[in-house]
Structure 1
Amino acid sequence: DLTYAGRYSESYSDALPDFVKLAEAYGWKGIRIEDPADLESGIAAMIAHDGPVIVDCRVAKLANCFPMIPSGAAHTDMILEADEVVGEMDDEAKALV
C-alpha cells in the first residue's frame, strides 16, 4: 500500500507449514489464534508458558500490521496506526525497496 499503491506481486504461499505442529515437533508450545476475540487469551497463554512458543496469529490477507517501519525509513519514522498512513512513498524511498 505504501510503496506501490496496492499493486502487489505474489508473495503469499499456499504451502505454509502448520506452525502449531512445527512447534510441537521441536517440543515447544504452539498456539494458533484465528478469531480476534481469542487474541488476548492467546497472548496470555504465550506469556504464561515457561519455554519457547510459536504463535500462528492469522490476519486478513489485506491487513497491514502495525506498528511498521516503512522501507528505507528510520526507526524514528515508525507508523503506529493505519490512520497515520497518507498516500504512498516518494520515489527516493521506493528506490530503497
Structure 2
Amino acid sequence: MGSEHVGLVDPLGEPYERSQRRKAELMKLYGRTWTIAEGIGGGWYAVWRADISAYGLEHGLSNIRCGATLAELARHLDTETRLENQPWRRVPLRAAP
C-alpha cells in the first residue's frame, strides 16, 4: 500500500512521500482557509477558499499564493495569516466636521 510511489521524486528532487507528508502538515495548518495543490508545471499553489474584501486586498492579503517548494508556500501562507490577524485601522474617507 503506497509502494507505487517509492523512489519517485517531485520536480525539485524531493522524495514523493516527504512532499506528501509536508502537504498534509500544511493542510492541517491552513486547509480550512486555503485549498493547496501542486502546480501543473511544478511547484505548489494555494487558493483562498472565500472571497477577500477589497479592504483586505488593499492591506496586502492575496487570493492566491505560490511557491516553488512546500516550504516556500508555507512561508507565504504564514505571512498571509499574520496579515489577516493584524488589527487594521480604518481611516475616514473625509474629515470629521
Query: TM-score interval w.r.t. the shorter chain?
Result: under 0.3
- Larger helix proportion, structure 1 or 2? 2
- Larger strand proportion, structure 1 or 2? 2
Higher relative contact order (CA 8 A, sep 6+): 1
Q: Return the TM-score normalized by structure 2.
A: 0.24
